[in-house]
Amino acid sequence: MSKRRSNTFTRFFEDIIDDTKDFVDDLIDRAKDVETDVKDAARKVVDDDEKDSKEAPSADAASLAAQLAELRAKLDELTALQTKVPAGK
């Protein structure tokens, strides 16, 4: 860093304005980063929700199919037992 020739009143304001510009530029850059991060996070949440909504019906359908298979097996078992028992007893 070199020393300045004079430390005038206008130089003082010039330094304040330059520092303020740098500060505002940094704030804007951080705001852009936050905005991008928020958009990415929102996009991920929406994508995850879409995946969940697409996967849930297939999982529900598989669960219902398994329960239906169990009921059919029990019904077949009861039908087989009923045919073994003589009528009238």
pLDDT at 12: 92
- Give the global pTM: 0.44
pLDDT at 5: 62
C-alpha span between 87 and 31 (Å, rounded): 83
Token pair in block for residue 40: 């990415």
What is the chain's pLDDT, residue by residue, as a tens digit (89 residues)? Answer: 455 566 788 999 999 999 999 999 999 999 999 999 999 998 888 887 666 665 556 777 888 889 999 999 998 888 888 777 665 55
Furthest-apart CA pair in the chain: how many Å? 121
